[in-house]
Structures are given as C-alpha cells and as structure tokens.
Structure 1
Amino acid sequence: MSNTLSKYLNILTYVMIGLTAIFVAMFYLGGDLPNQTYQTPVYTDVLIHWAKALFFVCAGLSLLFPIIELVSNPKGAVKGLAGLVGLGVIIFIGYSLSDGTLLDLPGYTGPDNTPGTLQFADTVLYTMYILGIGTVAAIVATEVLRRFR
C-alpha cells in the first residue's frame, strides 16, 4: 500500500473514531426524553444510525477489497477460494449433523420452536464445534512440528 493511501486511511480512521466518541458521549450525556415509560436517551437514534452506517461501510469494504485483490492477483485468489470452499464443506457437515425435531418445552408458546430455527441453531453449534476443535488441533500440531525442526 502506498504511503499516501496509508496516510489518508490513518486520518480517516482517527476521524471515524472521533465521531464515534462524540456520538457515544452525546448518547450518555445528552439527557433523556421526557414523559417516557423507560429511561430513553435523546440521541439514541443518532447512535443507532451511526452504527448502521459503520456496519454498511464495513460490509461494503469487506466485499470490495477481496474483489480488487481477485482482479489484481488471480493466482493468490485460488487460496482464498479454497478457504471459502473448505468453510462451505464444514458448514455442510454441520448442517448434515443438525436435527430439526421440535423440543418438548412445557409452558413455552413462543415462535422459535420450529424445525427451521432448531436446525439453524444446530448447524451453527456443530460448525463452531468443528472449527474450535480444528483450531486447537492446528495449535497443537504447529507446536509439535516446531519442536521437531
């Protein structure tokens, strides 16, 4: 990355951190709306809209930079695509292990005891288990291999 671009990105980072600090201070120190059932800060909407803006900017840049990298370095993109395919296989394995059987919850009448919701939750849990075990195995394997070098 060029020094000029790096300089501008650093300035942009400090500006965004400063704006975030200002919005958080406004939220906590700006007072409350009158005649509300619950304590409601005046600047809640401002902080929420700022958080949404940061999220969308971050999501957009997270998609844009890999595309730029793909165009500028197609050979390096193969490794990234291999990682995405591997992650897809792990998620598929988690989905295959998941179960959508309804739970017997006496007294529960909420909308979340559905096969789709339960299967999604199981998929996320199994995927996290697989990734966690893989992480620990990679750490142990790296340390063991380092001892033999």
Structure 2
Amino acid sequence: MSNTLSKYLNILTYVMIGLTAIFVAMFYLGGDLPNQADQTPVYTDVLIQWAKALFIVCAGLALGFPIIQLVTNPKGAVKGLGGLVGLGLVILIAYSLSDATLLDLPGYTGADNTPGALQFADTVLYTMYILGVGTVAAIVVTEVLRKLR
C-alpha cells in the first residue's frame, strides 16, 4: 500500500473513531426524552443511524475488496472468497438458530413485533456471538501457538 494512501486511511480511521466517540457521548450524556414510559435517550436515533452507516460501509468494503482481489490476482483470490463463504456459513448457522416467535409485550402496539423482524434480530445477535467467540478463540490459539514455538 502506498505511503500516501496509508496516511489517508489512518486519518479516516481517527475521524471515524472520533465521530463514534462523539455520538456515544451524545447518547449517554444528552438527556432523556420527556413523557416517556421508560428512559429514552434523546440521541438514540442518531447513534442507530451512525451504526447503520458504519455497517453498510463495512459490508461494502468486505464484499468489494475480495472482488477487486479477484480481478487483480485471480489465483490469490481463493482465500478472500473462502472468507466470504465462511461468513455466509456463519450467517446461515445463525439464521437456523434464530427464532421468530412473537414476543408477549403488554402495552406494546408497535409494528416491530413481527416474525421477520424478530428472526432478523436473532440472526444478527447470533452472528455477533459466533464471531465474537471465534475472535477470542483465534486470539487465544494464536498466542498459545506462539508461546510453543
């Protein structure tokens, strides 16, 4: 990677971290909406939209870079495509573990208590759990193997 590109990516990383810190601070320190049954922070929607934007950018990059690698280096692209296939399998496993049973929420009249929304939420949560445990396991295994060498 060129030195200039690396410099710009480092700056972009710090800007993204700074914006995330600002949005989280706004969420926790911005107060609550008045006349709500439960505590509802004022800036909840802002933080959710920022998380959605980060997710879309990350998903686009995660899909885009293997395609670029496939075009520029077809033989080396097998590993990149293998990673995408692995991620697809993790999502498929998480989907099979998810549950679409409607929740019994007394007093809730919103439109989000639907089987599709609940199954999507479960899939995302299980995917994050699987990836989180896999990350911790990979770190532990890597460190143990490094110590044994």
Looking at structure 2, the residues matched to 129 and 64 of structure 1 have their Cα atoms a distance apart, in angstroms, of: 24
Specify the alignment match of 1:74 in structure 2.
74
Please provide the CA RMSD for this pair.
2.9
Offset at residue 75 of structure 1 (A)? 1.1
Looking at structure 1, the residues matched to 143 and 65 of structure 2 have their Cα atoms a distance apart, in angstroms, of: 33
- TM-score, normalised via structure 2 length: 0.59
Specify the alignment match of 2:110 in structure 1.
110
Specify the alignment match of 2:18 in structure 1.
none
State whether structure 2 residue 111 is matched by structure 1 residue 119.
no
Specify the alignment match of 1:98 in structure 2.
98
Looking at structure 1, the residues matched to 97 and 64 of structure 2 have their Cα atoms a distance apart, in angstroms, of: 34
Looking at structure 2, the residues matched to 89 and 64 of structure 1 have their Cα atoms a distance apart, in angstroms, of: 19
Q: SS in structure 2 opposite 1:74?
A: coil
Looking at structure 2, the residues matched to 105 and 97 of structure 1 have their Cα atoms a distance apart, in angstroms, of: 22
Percent sequence identity over matched residues?
72
Looking at structure 1, the residues matched to 65 and 134 of structure 2 have their Cα atoms a distance apart, in angstroms, of: 27
Q: Which amino acid aligns with 1:137?
A: A
Looking at structure 1, the residues matched to 147 and 74 of structure 2 have their Cα atoms a distance apart, in angstroms, of: 35
Deviations 1:102-146 (A, max 9, x none): 000000000000000000000000000000000010011011111
Q: SS in structure 1 opposite 2:76?
A: helix
Specify the alignment match of 1:138 in structure 2.
138
Looking at structure 2, the residues matched to 118 and 112 of structure 1 have their Cα atoms a distance apart, in angstroms, of: 8
Gaps of 5+ in 2: 16-49
Looking at structure 1, the residues matched to 99 and 105 of structure 2 have their Cα atoms a distance apart, in angstroms, of: 16
**What does 1:1-149 align with in structure 2 at a 5 Å threshold?**
1=1, 6=4, 10=8, 62=61, 65-149=65-149
- TM-score, normalised via structure 1 length: 0.59
Larger-Rg structure: 1
**Matched residues, number:** 104
Gaps of 5+ in 1: 18-50
Q: Which amino acid aligns with 2:102?
A: L
Q: Which amino acid aligns with 1:118?
A: L
Offset at residue 2 of structure 1 (A)? 6.1
